[in-house]
Amino acid sequence: MRLWTVRRLHRTCKWQKSIELPKSCSDAGWKKVTTIEGLANGDNLHPMQEAFIKHDGFQCGYCTPGQIMSAVACVREGHAENEEDIRQYMSGNICRCGAYPNIVDAIIEVKKGGKI
């Protein structure tokens, strides 16, 4: 199995975090790969998708799939305890329209609602 290795330098601690990403879903082997299309349950949107719509967490839509997937991971991995933690976790996602405050509001709503 051939994997891509990604290294990210953490801003505050100066440590490197390495993850290996599969080149395709078939390379993932036993691992489950969820895409933005897989979040919804039929016609029912995922709570994070609903919150992004409610809080206008997107404008042009270019970054929306990545922002939503990262937002779900942010809550699931316990990085949504406060606004500062959310902003730090989401800092690797670039939104050229500047919808960051709305994205943070959407994440806070989903976290408080305990829907994930």
Same domain, 23 and 58: no
Same domain, 21 and 50: no
Which ranges in 20-79 belong to alpha helices (H)?
A: 47-54, 64-76
Q: What does the alpha-carbon distance between residue 41 and residue 78 come to, in Å, rounded to a whole number?
A: 23
Q: Is the pTM of this model over 0.85?
A: no
Same domain, 60 and 83: yes
Q: What does the alpha-carbon distance between residue 90 and residue 104 come to, in Å, rounded to a whole number?
A: 9
Same domain, 67 and 77: yes
Same domain, 45 and 14: no
* Tens of pLDDT, residues 7-44: 444 445 444 445 566 566 565 566 677 889 999 999 99
Q: Which CATH number does the domain housing residue 81 bear?
A: 1.10.150.120
Q: Name the domain count of the chain.
A: 2
Q: What is the extent of the structural domain holding 17? A: 1-33
